[in-house]
A and B are shown apart, each in its own frame.
Chain A
Protein backbone atom coordinates (compact mmCIF):
# COMPACT_ATOMS: atom_id res chain seq x y z
CA UNK A 1 0.00 0.00 0.00
CA UNK A 2 1.37 3.43 -0.83
CA UNK A 3 2.30 5.51 2.19
CA UNK A 4 0.04 8.58 1.68
CA UNK A 5 -3.01 6.33 1.31
CA UNK A 6 -1.97 4.28 4.35
CA UNK A 7 -1.56 7.45 6.39
CA UNK A 8 -4.99 8.72 5.34
CA UNK A 9 -6.62 5.45 6.44
CA UNK A 10 -4.75 5.49 9.75
CA UNK A 11 -5.66 9.16 10.37
CA UNK A 12 -9.32 8.45 9.63
CA UNK A 13 -9.32 5.49 12.03
CA UNK A 14 -7.54 7.44 14.78
CA UNK A 15 -9.97 10.38 14.57
CA UNK A 16 -13.04 8.12 14.67
CA UNK A 17 -11.55 6.07 17.52
CA UNK A 18 -10.71 9.10 19.64
CA UNK A 19 -14.15 10.65 19.11
CA UNK A 20 -15.97 7.45 20.05
CA UNK A 21 -13.59 6.64 22.92
CA UNK A 22 -13.99 10.01 24.66
CA UNK A 23 -17.70 10.23 23.87
CA UNK A 24 -18.27 6.83 25.50
CA UNK A 25 -16.00 7.69 28.43
CA UNK A 26 -18.00 10.78 29.31
CA UNK A 27 -21.50 9.91 28.08
CA UNK A 28 -23.05 8.17 31.08
CA UNK A 29 -22.00 10.48 33.89
CA UNK A 30 -21.30 13.81 32.20
CA UNK A 31 -22.91 14.24 28.77
CA UNK A 32 -26.31 12.76 29.59
CA UNK A 33 -26.80 14.89 32.73
CA UNK A 34 -25.60 17.91 30.73
CA UNK A 35 -28.06 17.40 27.87
CA UNK A 36 -30.70 16.04 30.27
CA UNK A 37 -31.61 13.16 27.97
CA UNK A 38 -30.60 9.65 27.01
CA UNK A 39 -27.87 9.78 24.38
CA UNK A 40 -27.16 7.00 21.88
CA UNK A 41 -24.54 4.51 23.10
CA UNK A 42 -22.27 2.19 21.23
CA UNK A 43 -22.72 -1.48 22.02
CA UNK A 44 -20.05 -4.21 21.91
CA UNK A 45 -17.00 -2.23 22.95
CA UNK A 46 -16.80 0.23 25.81
CA UNK A 47 -17.68 -0.20 29.51
CA UNK A 48 -21.36 0.89 29.55
CA UNK A 49 -21.04 2.73 32.87
CA UNK A 50 -17.69 4.37 32.11
CA UNK A 51 -14.43 3.89 34.02
CA UNK A 52 -16.06 3.70 37.43
CA UNK A 53 -13.47 1.70 39.38
CA UNK A 54 -14.28 1.91 43.11
CA UNK A 55 -15.77 5.35 42.49
CA UNK A 56 -18.45 5.17 45.18
CA UNK A 57 -17.87 3.13 48.33
CA UNK A 58 -20.39 3.53 51.09
CA UNK A 59 -20.29 2.91 54.83
CA UNK A 60 -22.47 -0.15 54.34
CA UNK A 61 -21.91 -3.58 52.87
CA UNK A 62 -24.35 -6.15 51.58
CA UNK A 63 -24.06 -9.61 50.12
CA UNK A 64 -26.05 -12.79 49.53
CA UNK A 65 -26.03 -15.87 51.71
CA UNK A 66 -27.55 -19.14 50.56
CA UNK A 67 -28.89 -21.71 53.01
CA UNK A 68 -29.74 -25.29 52.18
CA UNK A 69 -32.64 -26.69 54.23
CA UNK A 70 -32.68 -30.36 55.19
CA UNK A 71 -35.43 -31.71 57.47
CA UNK A 72 -36.37 -28.11 58.33
CA UNK A 73 -32.81 -27.33 59.54
CA UNK A 74 -31.14 -24.53 57.58
CA UNK A 75 -27.43 -24.82 56.89
CA UNK A 76 -25.22 -22.12 55.36
CA UNK A 77 -23.68 -23.21 52.04
CA UNK A 78 -20.11 -22.04 51.47
CA UNK A 79 -20.35 -19.60 48.52
CA UNK A 80 -17.18 -21.16 47.06
CA UNK A 81 -19.14 -24.40 46.66
CA UNK A 82 -21.87 -22.55 44.79
CA UNK A 83 -19.48 -20.66 42.54
CA UNK A 84 -16.72 -23.21 42.04
CA UNK A 85 -14.95 -21.41 39.20
CA UNK A 86 -11.69 -20.15 40.63
CA UNK A 87 -10.33 -16.93 39.22
CA UNK A 88 -6.55 -16.58 39.14
CA UNK A 89 -5.15 -13.96 41.48
CA UNK A 90 -8.39 -13.00 43.22
CA UNK A 91 -11.52 -14.37 44.84
CA UNK A 92 -14.71 -13.75 42.89
CA UNK A 93 -16.80 -14.33 46.01
CA UNK A 94 -15.05 -11.47 47.77
CA UNK A 95 -15.85 -9.33 44.75
CA UNK A 96 -19.47 -10.01 45.66
CA UNK A 97 -20.26 -11.99 42.53
CA UNK A 98 -23.12 -13.79 44.29
CA UNK A 99 -25.08 -10.59 44.98
CA UNK A 100 -26.42 -10.93 41.42
CA UNK A 101 -28.67 -13.77 42.54
CA UNK A 102 -30.75 -11.26 44.51
CA UNK A 103 -31.74 -9.30 41.40
CA UNK A 104 -35.39 -9.60 40.36
CA UNK A 105 -36.09 -12.57 38.13
CA UNK A 106 -32.88 -14.42 39.05
CA UNK A 107 -34.72 -17.10 41.01
CA UNK A 108 -35.92 -18.71 37.75
CA UNK A 109 -32.40 -19.72 36.80
CA UNK A 110 -30.69 -19.82 40.20
CA UNK A 111 -33.11 -22.27 41.85
CA UNK A 112 -32.68 -25.04 39.23
CA UNK A 113 -28.92 -24.44 39.42
CA UNK A 114 -28.89 -24.93 43.20
CA UNK A 115 -31.09 -28.03 42.98
CA UNK A 116 -28.72 -29.57 40.46
CA UNK A 117 -25.62 -28.77 42.49
CA UNK A 118 -26.97 -29.66 45.91
CA UNK A 119 -29.58 -32.43 45.55
CA UNK A 120 -29.08 -33.27 49.25
CA UNK A 121 -31.19 -30.34 50.41
CA UNK A 122 -35.01 -30.18 50.40
CA UNK A 123 -35.16 -26.46 49.69
CA UNK A 124 -32.98 -23.32 49.71
CA UNK A 125 -33.25 -19.92 51.33
CA UNK A 126 -31.67 -17.03 49.48
CA UNK A 127 -30.97 -14.25 51.94
CA UNK A 128 -29.84 -10.66 51.78
CA UNK A 129 -27.33 -9.63 54.44
CA UNK A 130 -26.56 -6.01 55.15
CA UNK A 131 -24.21 -4.21 57.49
CA UNK A 132 -25.84 -0.72 57.40
CA UNK A 133 -23.16 1.25 59.33
CA UNK A 134 -19.81 -0.48 59.11
CA UNK A 135 -17.64 2.11 60.82
CA UNK A 136 -20.03 3.02 63.66
CA UNK A 137 -21.84 -0.27 64.28
CA UNK A 138 -19.67 -3.02 62.77
CA UNK A 139 -21.76 -5.84 64.31
CA UNK A 140 -25.15 -4.42 63.35
CA UNK A 141 -26.29 -6.95 60.76
CA UNK A 142 -29.66 -7.27 59.05
CA UNK A 143 -30.61 -10.47 57.28
CA UNK A 144 -33.78 -11.12 55.32
CA UNK A 145 -34.98 -13.97 53.13
CA UNK A 146 -35.42 -12.67 49.58
CA UNK A 147 -36.84 -15.85 48.05
CA UNK A 148 -37.09 -19.56 48.66
CA UNK A 149 -36.31 -22.33 46.19
CA UNK A 150 -38.79 -25.13 46.96
Chain B
Protein backbone atom coordinates (compact mmCIF):
# COMPACT_ATOMS: atom_id res chain seq x y z
CA UNK B 1 0.00 0.00 0.00
CA UNK B 2 2.80 2.34 1.03
CA UNK B 3 4.62 1.52 -2.19
CA UNK B 4 1.61 2.33 -4.35
CA UNK B 5 0.95 5.60 -2.48
CA UNK B 6 4.57 6.53 -2.82
CA UNK B 7 4.54 5.82 -6.54
CA UNK B 8 1.31 7.74 -7.08
CA UNK B 9 2.05 10.91 -5.17
CA UNK B 10 5.38 11.08 -3.36
CA UNK B 11 7.95 9.76 -5.82
CA UNK B 12 10.22 12.47 -7.17
CA UNK B 13 9.89 12.89 -10.92
CA UNK B 14 11.09 15.62 -13.32
CA UNK B 15 8.94 18.72 -13.09
CA UNK B 16 9.57 20.04 -16.62
CA UNK B 17 6.05 19.04 -17.76
CA UNK B 18 4.51 21.07 -14.96
CA UNK B 19 6.69 24.05 -15.90
CA UNK B 20 5.47 23.81 -19.50
CA UNK B 21 1.88 23.56 -18.27
CA UNK B 22 2.34 26.80 -16.28
CA UNK B 23 2.62 28.75 -19.55
CA UNK B 24 -0.75 27.43 -20.75
CA UNK B 25 -2.43 28.15 -17.41
CA UNK B 26 -1.12 31.73 -17.60
CA UNK B 27 -2.27 32.14 -21.21
CA UNK B 28 -5.73 30.81 -20.42
CA UNK B 29 -6.16 33.09 -17.40
CA UNK B 30 -4.92 36.08 -19.39
CA UNK B 31 -7.15 35.36 -22.39
CA UNK B 32 -10.13 35.00 -20.10
CA UNK B 33 -9.66 38.00 -17.82
CA UNK B 34 -7.73 40.67 -19.73
CA UNK B 35 -10.47 41.33 -22.37
CA UNK B 36 -12.80 42.35 -19.52
CA UNK B 37 -10.36 45.18 -18.61
CA UNK B 38 -10.98 46.98 -21.90
CA UNK B 39 -14.45 48.00 -20.65
CA UNK B 40 -13.96 48.71 -16.97
CA UNK B 41 -17.01 50.98 -16.89
CA UNK B 42 -19.19 48.14 -18.24
CA UNK B 43 -17.66 45.39 -16.14
CA UNK B 44 -16.22 46.54 -12.84
CA UNK B 45 -16.74 50.23 -12.05
CA UNK B 46 -19.78 51.52 -10.16
CA UNK B 47 -21.49 52.05 -13.55
CA UNK B 48 -21.22 48.36 -14.49
CA UNK B 49 -24.01 45.88 -14.91
CA UNK B 50 -23.15 43.20 -12.37
CA UNK B 51 -24.25 39.71 -11.48
CA UNK B 52 -23.04 37.78 -8.45
CA UNK B 53 -22.28 34.12 -7.99
CA UNK B 54 -23.74 33.61 -4.52
CA UNK B 55 -23.35 29.84 -4.78
CA UNK B 56 -19.59 30.21 -5.13
CA UNK B 57 -18.95 33.12 -2.75
CA UNK B 58 -20.44 33.77 0.69
CA UNK B 59 -22.80 36.78 0.56
CA UNK B 60 -20.64 38.65 3.08
CA UNK B 61 -17.60 38.39 0.85
CA UNK B 62 -19.53 39.72 -2.16
CA UNK B 63 -20.88 42.62 -0.08
CA UNK B 64 -17.37 43.43 1.09
CA UNK B 65 -15.94 43.40 -2.44
CA UNK B 66 -18.81 45.56 -3.73
CA UNK B 67 -17.65 48.37 -1.47
CA UNK B 68 -14.58 48.79 -3.71
CA UNK B 69 -14.16 52.31 -5.04
CA UNK B 70 -13.22 52.56 -8.74
CA UNK B 71 -9.66 53.44 -7.77
CA UNK B 72 -9.27 50.11 -5.99
CA UNK B 73 -10.53 48.36 -9.12
CA UNK B 74 -7.79 50.11 -11.11
CA UNK B 75 -5.25 49.01 -8.50
CA UNK B 76 -6.38 45.38 -8.89
CA UNK B 77 -6.24 45.65 -12.68
CA UNK B 78 -2.62 46.80 -12.47
CA UNK B 79 -1.84 44.14 -9.84
CA UNK B 80 -3.40 41.45 -12.04
CA UNK B 81 -1.52 42.47 -15.17
CA UNK B 82 1.83 42.56 -13.32
CA UNK B 83 1.35 39.28 -11.45
CA UNK B 84 -0.07 37.58 -14.53
CA UNK B 85 2.95 38.57 -16.59
CA UNK B 86 5.32 37.44 -13.80
CA UNK B 87 3.51 34.11 -13.66
CA UNK B 88 3.71 33.75 -17.44
CA UNK B 89 7.46 34.32 -17.53
CA UNK B 90 8.01 32.47 -14.25
CA UNK B 91 9.31 35.32 -12.16
CA UNK B 92 8.71 34.46 -8.47
CA UNK B 93 6.45 31.75 -9.90
CA UNK B 94 4.65 30.68 -6.74
CA UNK B 95 4.19 34.15 -5.29
CA UNK B 96 2.97 35.57 -8.60
CA UNK B 97 0.58 32.63 -8.97
CA UNK B 98 -0.90 33.26 -5.51
CA UNK B 99 -1.28 37.01 -6.05
CA UNK B 100 -2.73 36.55 -9.54
CA UNK B 101 -5.24 34.01 -8.21
CA UNK B 102 -6.27 36.46 -5.47
CA UNK B 103 -6.90 39.09 -8.17
CA UNK B 104 -8.94 36.53 -10.12
CA UNK B 105 -11.13 35.93 -7.07
CA UNK B 106 -11.54 39.66 -6.57
CA UNK B 107 -12.80 40.25 -10.13
CA UNK B 108 -15.02 37.18 -9.99
CA UNK B 109 -16.66 38.38 -6.77
CA UNK B 110 -16.91 41.94 -8.12
CA UNK B 111 -18.80 40.82 -11.22
CA UNK B 112 -19.36 37.30 -12.45
CA UNK B 113 -21.26 38.42 -15.57
CA UNK B 114 -18.38 38.29 -18.05
CA UNK B 115 -15.85 35.86 -16.60
CA UNK B 116 -18.07 33.61 -14.50
CA UNK B 117 -18.64 30.36 -16.36
CA UNK B 118 -18.41 26.74 -15.34
CA UNK B 119 -15.07 26.53 -17.12
CA UNK B 120 -13.83 29.49 -15.07
CA UNK B 121 -14.69 27.57 -11.88
CA UNK B 122 -12.71 24.63 -13.27
CA UNK B 123 -9.78 26.93 -14.02
CA UNK B 124 -9.82 28.19 -10.41
CA UNK B 125 -9.42 24.60 -9.19
CA UNK B 126 -6.35 24.29 -11.43
CA UNK B 127 -5.00 27.62 -10.19
CA UNK B 128 -5.42 26.56 -6.58
CA UNK B 129 -3.28 23.48 -7.20
CA UNK B 130 -0.68 25.57 -9.00
CA UNK B 131 -0.46 27.88 -5.97
CA UNK B 132 0.49 25.05 -3.61
CA UNK B 133 4.11 24.59 -4.71
CA UNK B 134 6.78 26.49 -6.67
CA UNK B 135 7.53 23.40 -8.82
CA UNK B 136 6.06 25.01 -11.96
CA UNK B 137 8.88 27.54 -11.86
CA UNK B 138 11.58 24.88 -12.15
CA UNK B 139 12.13 25.47 -15.86
CA UNK B 140 10.89 27.76 -18.66
CA UNK B 141 11.08 30.55 -16.09
CA UNK B 142 13.10 33.54 -14.99
CA UNK B 143 13.41 31.78 -11.62
CA UNK B 144 15.52 29.09 -13.35
CA UNK B 145 17.87 31.73 -14.70
CA UNK B 146 18.24 33.17 -11.22
CA UNK B 147 19.35 29.80 -9.91
CA UNK B 148 21.73 29.27 -12.84
CA UNK B 149 21.42 25.49 -12.55
CA UNK B 150 22.55 23.94 -15.86
CA UNK B 151 20.59 20.77 -15.09
CA UNK B 152 17.37 22.60 -14.15
CA UNK B 153 15.46 20.92 -16.97
CA UNK B 154 15.78 17.57 -15.22
CA UNK B 155 15.04 18.75 -11.70
CA UNK B 156 12.98 16.23 -9.74
CA UNK B 157 10.05 17.02 -7.43
CA UNK B 158 7.34 15.05 -5.61
CA UNK B 159 4.77 14.11 -8.21
CA UNK B 160 1.61 14.90 -6.24
CA UNK B 161 0.66 18.19 -7.92
CA UNK B 162 0.95 16.75 -11.40
CA UNK B 163 -1.01 13.66 -10.29
CA UNK B 164 -3.80 15.79 -8.79
CA UNK B 165 -3.97 17.81 -12.02
CA UNK B 166 -4.23 14.54 -13.95
CA UNK B 167 -7.04 13.40 -11.64
CA UNK B 168 -8.78 16.75 -12.08
CA UNK B 169 -8.96 16.57 -15.88
CA UNK B 170 -9.81 12.86 -15.87
CA UNK B 171 -12.59 13.43 -13.32
CA UNK B 172 -13.90 16.39 -15.32
CA UNK B 173 -14.37 14.11 -18.32
CA UNK B 174 -15.84 11.32 -16.24
CA UNK B 175 -18.34 13.44 -14.32
CA UNK B 176 -19.28 15.45 -17.42
CA UNK B 177 -20.34 12.14 -19.00
CA UNK B 178 -22.01 10.86 -15.83
CA UNK B 179 -24.13 14.01 -15.47
CA UNK B 180 -25.23 13.62 -19.09
CA UNK B 181 -26.69 10.17 -18.59
CA UNK B 182 -27.97 10.25 -14.99
CA UNK B 183 -30.24 12.51 -12.94
CA UNK B 184 -31.40 15.45 -15.02
CA UNK B 185 -29.08 14.63 -17.91
CA UNK B 186 -30.93 13.84 -21.14
CA UNK B 187 -28.32 12.32 -23.46
CA UNK B 188 -30.05 8.92 -23.34
CA UNK B 189 -33.68 9.99 -23.07
CA UNK B 190 -33.41 12.93 -25.48
CA UNK B 191 -31.34 13.88 -28.52
CA UNK B 192 -29.21 16.89 -27.44
CA UNK B 193 -26.97 16.98 -30.53
CA UNK B 194 -30.05 17.06 -32.76
CA UNK B 195 -31.51 19.95 -30.73
CA UNK B 196 -28.19 21.80 -30.89
CA UNK B 197 -28.12 21.43 -34.68
CA UNK B 198 -31.55 23.06 -34.81
CA UNK B 199 -30.63 26.01 -32.59
CA UNK B 200 -31.26 29.45 -34.13
CA UNK B 201 -28.35 31.74 -35.08
CA UNK B 202 -28.39 33.28 -31.59
CA UNK B 203 -27.54 29.92 -30.04
CA UNK B 204 -24.29 28.28 -28.99
CA UNK B 205 -23.90 26.20 -32.18
CA UNK B 206 -21.49 27.56 -34.79
CA UNK B 207 -22.09 27.28 -38.52
CA UNK B 208 -20.06 24.37 -39.80
CA UNK B 209 -20.11 22.15 -42.84
CA UNK B 210 -22.37 19.32 -41.62
CA UNK B 211 -24.74 21.38 -39.47
CA UNK B 212 -27.60 21.62 -42.02
CA UNK B 213 -27.37 17.92 -42.83
CA UNK B 214 -27.28 16.89 -39.18
CA UNK B 215 -30.27 19.10 -38.38
CA UNK B 216 -32.50 16.73 -40.41
CA UNK B 217 -30.88 13.42 -39.38
CA UNK B 218 -31.89 12.80 -35.76
CA UNK B 219 -30.73 9.16 -35.71
CA UNK B 220 -27.21 10.13 -36.74
CA UNK B 221 -27.19 12.89 -34.09
CA UNK B 222 -28.29 10.44 -31.42
CA UNK B 223 -25.42 8.08 -32.27
CA UNK B 224 -22.97 11.01 -32.20
CA UNK B 225 -24.33 11.94 -28.76
CA UNK B 226 -23.78 8.41 -27.46
CA UNK B 227 -20.27 8.37 -28.95
CA UNK B 228 -19.45 11.62 -27.15
CA UNK B 229 -20.64 10.20 -23.82
CA UNK B 230 -18.71 6.97 -24.45
CA UNK B 231 -15.55 8.95 -25.29
CA UNK B 232 -15.86 11.07 -22.15
CA UNK B 233 -16.38 8.01 -19.96
CA UNK B 234 -13.49 6.11 -21.53
CA UNK B 235 -10.99 9.00 -21.66
CA UNK B 236 -9.93 8.80 -17.98
CA UNK B 237 -9.16 5.09 -18.38
CA UNK B 238 -7.35 5.59 -21.68
CA UNK B 239 -5.28 8.37 -20.13
CA UNK B 240 -4.30 6.46 -16.98
CA UNK B 241 -3.44 3.14 -18.65
CA UNK B 242 0.12 3.53 -20.02
CA UNK B 243 -0.52 1.38 -23.09
CA UNK B 244 -3.53 3.44 -24.24
CA UNK B 245 -2.24 6.83 -23.10
CA UNK B 246 -1.18 7.99 -26.54
CA UNK B 247 -4.62 7.12 -27.97
CA UNK B 248 -6.27 8.90 -25.03
CA UNK B 249 -4.29 12.10 -25.55
CA UNK B 250 -4.96 12.12 -29.32
CA UNK B 251 -8.64 11.42 -28.72
CA UNK B 252 -8.82 14.20 -26.13
CA UNK B 253 -7.18 16.67 -28.53
CA UNK B 254 -9.56 15.67 -31.33
CA UNK B 255 -12.53 16.02 -28.99
CA UNK B 256 -11.55 19.57 -28.01
CA UNK B 257 -10.81 20.66 -31.57
CA UNK B 258 -14.28 19.40 -32.56
CA UNK B 259 -15.83 21.27 -29.63
CA UNK B 260 -14.17 24.54 -30.58
CA UNK B 261 -15.07 24.17 -34.27
CA UNK B 262 -18.73 23.42 -33.62
CA UNK B 263 -19.70 25.26 -30.44
CA UNK B 264 -19.03 28.61 -28.80
CA UNK B 265 -17.11 27.26 -25.84
CA UNK B 266 -14.79 29.30 -23.57
CA UNK B 267 -11.10 29.46 -24.46
CA UNK B 268 -10.21 27.14 -21.57
CA UNK B 269 -11.42 24.22 -23.71
CA UNK B 270 -8.70 24.77 -26.29
CA UNK B 271 -5.92 26.43 -24.26
CA UNK B 272 -6.00 24.55 -20.96
CA UNK B 273 -7.57 21.11 -21.28
CA UNK B 274 -5.35 19.81 -24.14
CA UNK B 275 -2.26 21.05 -22.30
CA UNK B 276 -3.52 19.41 -19.11
CA UNK B 277 -3.78 16.11 -20.98
CA UNK B 278 -0.08 16.39 -21.86
CA UNK B 279 0.58 16.05 -18.11
CA UNK B 280 -0.14 12.35 -18.59
CA UNK B 281 3.12 11.90 -20.51
CA UNK B 282 5.56 10.30 -18.09
CA UNK B 283 8.11 13.00 -17.13
CA UNK B 284 10.99 10.56 -17.47
CA UNK B 285 10.02 10.02 -21.12
CA UNK B 286 10.29 13.77 -21.70
CA UNK B 287 13.73 13.80 -20.09
CA UNK B 288 14.83 10.79 -22.17
CA UNK B 289 13.64 12.55 -25.31
CA UNK B 290 15.55 15.74 -24.41
CA UNK B 291 18.67 13.70 -23.57
CA UNK B 292 18.49 11.91 -26.92
CA UNK B 293 18.23 15.24 -28.72
CA UNK B 294 21.18 16.62 -26.73
CA UNK B 295 23.27 13.54 -27.52
CA UNK B 296 22.47 13.81 -31.24
CA UNK B 297 23.28 17.54 -31.21
CA UNK B 298 26.55 16.91 -29.35
CA UNK B 299 27.66 14.51 -32.10
CA UNK B 300 26.54 16.75 -35.01
CA UNK B 301 28.20 19.98 -36.15
CA UNK B 302 27.00 22.66 -33.74
CA UNK B 303 26.91 26.43 -33.71
CA UNK B 304 29.79 27.97 -31.79
CA UNK B 305 29.25 31.08 -29.73
CA UNK B 306 32.34 33.19 -29.09
CA UNK B 307 32.23 35.80 -26.33
CA UNK B 308 34.51 38.13 -24.42
CA UNK B 309 35.99 35.85 -21.76
CA UNK B 310 37.43 38.78 -19.80
CA UNK B 311 34.04 40.32 -19.14
CA UNK B 312 32.00 39.12 -16.15
CA UNK B 313 28.76 40.37 -17.66
CA UNK B 314 29.42 38.37 -20.85
CA UNK B 315 30.28 35.22 -18.90
CA UNK B 316 27.12 35.59 -16.82
CA UNK B 317 25.04 36.08 -19.99
CA UNK B 318 26.55 32.98 -21.56
CA UNK B 319 25.80 31.05 -18.38
CA UNK B 320 22.14 32.05 -18.73
CA UNK B 321 22.20 30.94 -22.36
CA UNK B 322 23.59 27.59 -21.28
CA UNK B 323 20.72 27.20 -18.79
CA UNK B 324 18.24 28.02 -21.56
CA UNK B 325 19.91 25.88 -24.24
CA UNK B 326 17.65 22.88 -23.66
CA UNK B 327 18.69 21.01 -26.81
CA UNK B 328 22.44 21.63 -26.30
CA UNK B 329 22.62 23.24 -29.74
CA UNK B 330 25.66 25.43 -29.14
CA UNK B 331 29.24 25.31 -27.98
CA UNK B 332 30.41 28.24 -25.91
CA UNK B 333 34.01 29.49 -26.01
CA UNK B 334 35.87 32.67 -25.09
CA UNK B 335 36.91 34.57 -28.24
CA UNK B 336 39.93 36.75 -28.84
CA UNK B 337 40.82 39.44 -26.33
CA UNK B 338 38.84 42.68 -26.49
CA UNK B 339 36.23 41.48 -29.02
CA UNK B 340 33.52 44.10 -29.46
CA UNK B 341 30.53 41.78 -29.87
CA UNK B 342 29.62 38.11 -29.52
CA UNK B 343 30.06 36.04 -32.66
CA UNK B 344 28.04 33.03 -33.70
CA UNK B 345 29.64 30.58 -36.08
CA UNK B 346 26.57 28.71 -37.29
CA UNK B 347 26.65 24.99 -38.07
CA UNK B 348 26.32 25.79 -41.79
CA UNK B 349 29.47 27.96 -41.67
CA UNK B 350 27.73 31.36 -41.69
CA UNK B 351 29.00 34.01 -39.27
CA UNK B 352 26.68 36.31 -37.32
CA UNK B 353 27.71 39.10 -34.97
CA UNK B 354 26.10 41.03 -32.11
CA UNK B 355 22.36 41.54 -32.40
CA UNK B 356 22.15 39.33 -35.49
CA UNK B 357 23.82 36.49 -33.60
CA UNK B 358 21.14 36.88 -30.93
CA UNK B 359 18.49 36.80 -33.67
CA UNK B 360 19.78 33.40 -34.70
CA UNK B 361 19.88 32.12 -31.13
CA UNK B 362 16.19 32.80 -30.46
CA UNK B 363 15.17 30.18 -33.03
CA UNK B 364 17.15 27.43 -31.30
CA UNK B 365 16.61 28.14 -27.60
CA UNK B 366 13.04 27.29 -26.46
CA UNK B 367 13.06 29.75 -23.59
CA UNK B 368 13.81 32.54 -26.08
CA UNK B 369 10.94 31.70 -28.45
CA UNK B 370 8.95 34.50 -26.83
CA UNK B 371 11.60 36.95 -28.08
CA UNK B 372 11.05 36.03 -31.75
CA UNK B 373 8.31 38.65 -32.33
CA UNK B 374 10.44 41.25 -30.52
CA UNK B 375 13.69 40.74 -32.47
CA UNK B 376 11.82 40.53 -35.77
CA UNK B 377 9.46 43.43 -35.07
CA UNK B 378 9.58 46.00 -37.91
CA UNK B 379 12.44 48.39 -37.18
CA UNK B 380 14.23 46.02 -34.82
CA UNK B 381 16.96 45.53 -37.44
CA UNK B 382 17.89 49.20 -36.85
CA UNK B 383 17.13 49.62 -33.14
CA UNK B 384 18.44 46.16 -32.13
CA UNK B 385 22.08 46.62 -33.25
CA UNK B 386 22.11 50.10 -31.69
CA UNK B 387 20.88 48.75 -28.33
CA UNK B 388 23.33 45.83 -28.60
CA UNK B 389 26.26 48.16 -29.29
CA UNK B 390 25.33 50.36 -26.32
CA UNK B 391 25.27 47.32 -24.01
CA UNK B 392 28.51 45.98 -25.52
CA UNK B 393 30.29 49.33 -25.01
CA UNK B 394 29.18 49.50 -21.39
CA UNK B 395 29.49 45.80 -20.58
CA UNK B 396 32.31 46.29 -18.10
CA UNK B 397 30.13 48.74 -16.14
CA UNK B 398 27.03 46.56 -16.09
CA UNK B 399 26.27 44.51 -12.99
CA UNK B 400 27.13 40.82 -13.14
CA UNK B 401 23.69 39.45 -12.41
CA UNK B 402 24.66 35.88 -11.78
CA UNK B 403 26.48 35.00 -8.56
CA UNK B 404 28.25 31.94 -9.97
CA UNK B 405 29.70 33.96 -12.87
CA UNK B 406 30.73 36.73 -10.49
CA UNK B 407 32.74 34.30 -8.42
CA UNK B 408 34.54 33.08 -11.51
CA UNK B 409 35.10 36.65 -12.73
CA UNK B 410 37.36 37.68 -9.88
Question: What is the interface of chain A, defined by CB distance below 8 A to chain B?
Answer: 6-7, 10-11, 13-14, 17-18, 21-22, 25-26, 29-30, 33, 41, 43-59, 61, 63, 83-97, 100-101, 103, 106, 109-110, 112-113, 116-117, 131, 134-135, 138
- Further contacts, 9 of them, CB under 8 A, given A29-B184, A84-B42, A97-B113: A14-B164, A29-B182, A44-B56, A51-B122, A51-B175, A61-B199, A85-B38, A94-B203, A101-B49
From B10, B50, B184, B271, A11 is in contact (CB under 8 Å) with: B10
Interface centre among B58, B117, B179 (most CB of A within 10 A): B179
A105–B298 CA distance with the chains assembled, in angstroms: 69
Sampled A-B contacts (14; CB under 8 Å): A14-B9, A29-B183, A30-B182, A45-B128, A53-B176, A54-B192, A55-B176, A57-B190, A86-B35, A90-B265, A90-B266, A97-B113, A106-B51, A138-B200
The answer to whether A57 and B186 touch across the interface, beta carbons within 8 angstroms, is: yes
Say yes or no: A29-B179 contact (C-beta < 8 A), given A17-B164, A43-B58.
Answer: yes
Q: B15 in the interface, Cβ–Cβ < 8 Å?
A: no
A85–B164 CA distance with the chains assembled, in angstroms: 34
B31-43 Cβ-contact flags toward A at 8 Å (1 or 0): 1100110110011
Say yes or no: A135-B195 contact (C-beta < 8 A), given A88-B267, A113-B48.
Answer: yes
B197 to chain A, nearest CB (A): 9
A10–B266 CA distance with the chains assembled, in angstroms: 33
6 A-B pairs with least C-beta separation: A48-B55, A57-B192, A47-B121, A113-B49, A51-B175, A89-B267
Q: B297 in the interface, Cβ–Cβ < 8 Å?
A: no
The answer to whether B190 and A54 touch across the interface, beta carbons within 8 angstroms, is: no
B276 to chain A, nearest CB (A): 14
A139–B264 CA distance with the chains assembled, in angstroms: 23
- CB contacts (< 8 Å) of A55 on chain B: these are 176, 179-180, 184-187
The interface size of chain B toward A, counting residues with CB under 8 Å, comes to: 72
| Nearest neighbor of A51 in chain B, beta-carbon distance | B175
Say yes or no: A134-B199 contact (C-beta < 8 A), given A56-B184, A57-B186.
Answer: yes
A14–B129 CA distance with the chains assembled, in angstroms: 11
The answer to whether B158 and A10 touch across the interface, beta carbons within 8 angstroms, is: yes
Q: B247 in the interface, Cβ–Cβ < 8 Å?
A: no
Q: B220 in the interface, Cβ–Cβ < 8 Å?
A: no
- CB contacts (< 8 Å) of B9 on chain A: these are 10-11, 14
| Nearest neighbor of B112 in chain A, beta-carbon distance | A100
Say yes or no: A6-B125 contact (C-beta < 8 A), given A88-B35, A116-B47.
Answer: no
The answer to whether A61 and B56 touch across the interface, beta carbons within 8 angstroms, is: no
- CB contacts (< 8 Å) of A53 on chain B: these are 118-119, 176, 179
Q: B171 in the interface, Cβ–Cβ < 8 Å?
A: yes
Q: B234 in the interface, Cβ–Cβ < 8 Å?
A: no
